[in-house]
Amino acid sequence: MQVALIGLTQSGKSSLFSAITEGQGGSGAAGVGQIERAVVKVPDERLDFLTEMYKPKKTTHATIEFLDLPGFSFVSESGQQEARKLIAQARQSEMLVLVICGFSSSSVAAYRDRVDPMADLEELQNEMLLADLELVTNRLEKLEKSKNKPTKTADADKKEYAILQRCNEAIENLQPLSSAIQSEEEEKIVRSFGFLTLKPAVVVLNVSDDDVSGVAAITAEQAGCEVIQLSATLESELVALDADERDAFLEDMGVEEIAKDRLVKTCYKAVNVISFLTSGEDEVRAWTIPAACPAPEAAGAIHSDIQRGFIRAEVVAYDDLVAEGDMKGVKAAGKSRLEGKTYEVQDGDIINFRFNV
Ligand SMILES: Nc1nc2c(ncn2[C@@H]2O[C@H](COP(=O)(O)OP(=O)(O)OP(=O)(O)O)[C@@H](O)[C@H]2O)c(=O)[nH]1
Ligand SMILES: [Mg+2]
């Protein structure tokens, strides 16, 4: 799963990236126009608990790949061209983090000489919509020429043409693209285009250190998605501290969790995936599956043999394990379940698959 950090120039994307990756992906000092990438563990207190319990040789987290894209500037023609290329890159990610500048600094030139988060967000979202519209119209023009020719793809082309026309209408009527999609099949076709405005998104409002606990300048309603307010520079300083210092600092601030952890978890949830867990002396591990996934398919995330030879899933809910203290207690309380093929795996299920091949 891949998440791209995008935004207008100098909004703090690279600072945020450095905090999220705890510095592993470089310091944001890469050459101008370069894309940085790094794989990040999704924090999971359930894995911490299981690791404490089993003391395994290895603990494996779910992961997300983050991309740090250079900032977009729509001020000049050349900036717009550059942004177009970067947008093509962002289309490949499953999710977007829109990093919006909410800090003023004497040493950083503000985009369009303003510190106006709402105006920046509107400009960014507007450009995303325009880019999607351009994609729709280009493709429609191509299909216009080919759709009535007796080619191999004529049927598929006609279908696509009809959907894209509806997409076009939706954008022109200022409706979200999602309103143009009527079935799962259509969704699949549309997904292959990588429309930016259809991707799950979260807005990060990057404010000064002393504003982090203030009222956010953008509400979730205005953004159309969750808004997380943080200070990217503060976050990157926090990750450089050792665990005790970090905890002391968070306690001082009166917050439970470092903001970048909250962001990574939010991204994971936003793409509609969940984790089930496996545990043992060798390894404690989180496995990523789509929400509402039947047990055999979940088993397939581990190995296709386990899916093929699926017999039953021995399932313990994480909360039951915590309540009973250990697996013995869980079994004594009758809270270990045997589930069959139609069972929908729940987030946090600890599973042992029985299979036969
Ligand atoms: N005062 C202050 N400065 C910040 C904050 N976040 C970022 N900066 C500074 O703003 C400048 C740009 O930050 P970057 O993280 O490089 O921004 P960017 O979005 O990656 O920039 P581009 O990739 O060029 O678009 C740097 O000098 C940062 O130190 C903040 O919360 N407060
Ligand atoms: Mg940058």
233 touches ligand 1 (CB under 6 Å): yes
Alpha-carbon span 297 to 143, nearest angstrom = 37
Q: What angle do CA 320, 326, 328 make, to 5 degrees?
A: 100
Q: Which residue has the higher pLDDT, 144 or 98?
A: 98
Q: Is residue 303 part of a domain?
A: yes
**186: helix, strand or coil:** helix
Cβ proximity of 34 and 48 under 8 Å: no
Q: Is residue 330 part of a domain?
A: yes
pLDDT at residue number 153: 86
**Mean pLDDT value of segment 34-42:** 94
> Which atom of ligand 1 is least distant from the CA of 99?
19
Give the number of C-alpha atoms closer than 13 A to the C-alpha of residue 258, restricted to the C-beta side: 27
Ligand 1 pocket test, pick from 105, 205, 231, 238 with the greatest ligand atom count within 8 Å of Cβ, gives 105
CA of 237 to the centre of ligand 1 (A): 13
208 touches ligand 1 (CB under 6 Å): yes
Alpha-carbon span 177 to 194, nearest angstrom = 12
CA of 200 to the centre of ligand 2 (A): 22
Cβ proximity of 97 and 202 under 8 Å: yes
pLDDT at residue number 253: 83
111 touches ligand 1 (CB under 6 Å): no
Q: Is residue 60 part of a domain?
A: no
**Mean pLDDT value of segment 80-104:** 96
pLDDT at residue number 80: 95
Closest alpha carbon to 39 in 64, 7, 68: 64
CATH number, domain with residue 309: 3.10.20.30
CA of 266 to the centre of ligand 1 (A): 22
108 touches ligand 1 (CB under 6 Å): yes
Q: Is residue 351 part of a domain?
A: yes
10 touches ligand 1 (CB under 6 Å): yes
Does 346 have pLDDT greater than 70? yes
* Share above pLDDT 70 across residues of the chain, in percent, rounded to a whole number: 97
Q: Is residue 336 part of a domain?
A: yes
Q: Dump the DSSP string for 193-257.
A: TT-GGGS-EEEEEE--GGGTTSPPSS-HHHHTSEEEEE-HHHHHHHTTS-HHHHHHHHHHHT-SS
Q: Dump the DSSP string for 284-310.
A: EEEEEEETT-BHHHHHHHH-HHHHHTE
Q: Please count the structural domains in the chain.
A: 1
pLDDT in tens, 169-218: 999 998 889 999 999 999 999 999 999 999 999 999 999 998 998 899 99
Alpha-carbon span 18 to 38, nearest angstrom = 10
What are the residue ranges of helices labelled H in the chain?
13-20, 45-54, 77-90, 117-146, 154-172, 184-191, 220-223, 232-238, 243-253, 259-270, 295-302, 304-308, 318-324, 327-332
Q: Is residue 341 part of a domain?
A: yes
Closest alpha carbon to 321 in 312, 313, 333: 333
CA of 14 to the centre of ligand 1 (A): 7
14 touches ligand 1 (CB under 6 Å): yes
Residue whose CA is closest, atom 32 of ligand 1? 208
Residue 327: C-alpha distances to residues 44, 82, 286 (Å): 20, 56, 18
Find the domain containing 315 and state its range.
Answer: 292-355
Alpha-carbon span 144 to 142, nearest angstrom = 5
294 touches ligand 1 (CB under 6 Å): no
Does 32 have pLDDT greater than 70? no
**Mean pLDDT value of segment 214-228:** 95
Task: Measure the N-to-C terminal CA separation of the chain; round to a whole number of Å.
Answer: 30
Residue 33: C-alpha distances to residues 19, 29, 70 (Å): 20, 11, 5
pLDDT in tens, 235-257: 999 999 998 999 999 998 888 88
pLDDT at residue number 34: 87
Q: Is residue 31 part of a domain?
A: no
pLDDT at residue number 152: 86
Task: Name the helix (H) or strand (E) containing 316.
Answer: strand 310-317
Does 157 have pLDDT greater than 60? yes
30 pLDDT band, cuts 50/70/90, is: low
Does 27 have pLDDT greater than 60? no
Whole-structure pTM value: 0.93
Q: Is residue 310 part of a domain?
A: yes
